Amino acid sequence: MTIQKVLVIGAGQMGGGIAQVCAQAGFDVKLNDIKEASYTKGIGVITKNLSRNVEKGRMTEDEKNAVLGRITMSLDLQDAADVDIVIEAAVENMAIKKTIFAQLDEIAPKHAILATNTSSLPITEIAAATKRPENVIGMHYMNPVPVMKLVEIIRGLATSDEVYEAVEEMTRKLSKTPVEVNDYPGFVANRVLMPMINEAIYTLYEGVASKEAIDDVMKLGMNHPMGPLQLADFIGLDTCLYIMETLHEGFGDSKYRPCPLLRKYVNAGWLGKKSGRGFYEYS
């Protein structure tokens, strides 16, 4: 199974990063979004990232232009009609993902792989929205995509060996490290990370220490590059809450219950860096 043409759905932070690394690896990429303004913003971020690489001597101006030349705008899912793989990076919502995958199943060629960048939702359930569950797989990239090496590759119940091998090979072409993970809520990355962040929020909620102290303990004592509360702000507190709810629902275990303070901040619109305020303030 040869992959050359790629459609990435969602021109936000994750989708834009995925489109960038695919184009850098020589793939032809269509970057899809429902709004042209979102695409324009996404391609602007990609251009800025590549320009920074030129300034640092990591690539030439000609190489930058060649990468940008491999990315084209898409505002219609019908553009999936001639691609080899679709990588969906839309909002983390099961109903929306199922709708997208049901549409892709009708549009994409029969050989096309349908991949999702979901960080916590069941691949098997997403695949059930299609008539080709053997061609559906999870490709969970880490943020920021151009920098982070890991890609969790998650098989659904029906994912074929051929599809897994093709996605693993593609991941290596992107200069990423593929790690095979089974289809359980949160996979590995978020099943381990999010309860740690949630427990750090409980530590603040219960008055054990200040936010700065909690982050310093984890940075200086555990050698984490960023404290858990600061990291939560960068991920987005709404995303953290959604993943904790997915874990809590998926396992039915009280150890995954979201901290009331996390829920309170999200209800207040304090979503972290993207809203200007979370556990810290961002001007």
Strands 85-88 and 5-9: parallel
Longest dimension (CA), the chain: 56
Cβ burial 234-256 (10 Å sphere, 16+ → b, else e): ebbbbbbbbbbebbbebeeeeeb
65 is catalytic: no
Active site residue 190: yes
Catalytic residue among 38, 49, 135, 152: 152
Q: Which of 120, 140, 160, 198 is an active site residue?
A: 140
Q: Which residues contact 10 (CB under 8 A, 6 or more apart)?
A: 32, 33, 88, 89, 90, 91, 117
In sequence order, what are the residues at sequence separation of 6 or more whose Cβ sits closer than 8 angstroms to the Cβ of residue 86?
6, 7, 8, 9, 80, 104, 108, 112, 113, 114, 115
Q: Indicate the helix (H) or strand (E) that contains 35.
A: none
Residue 180 annotated in active site = no
Query: Is 49 assigned a catalytic role?
Result: no
Catalytically annotated residue among 119, 135, 160, 198: 119
Q: How many CA atoms lie within 13 A of 143 on its CB side?
A: 16
**Is the backbone peptide bond immediately before 144 cis, with ω within 30 degrees of 0?**
yes
Catalytic member of 32, 49, 160, 190 = 190
- Active-site residues, by number, are 119, 140, 152, 190
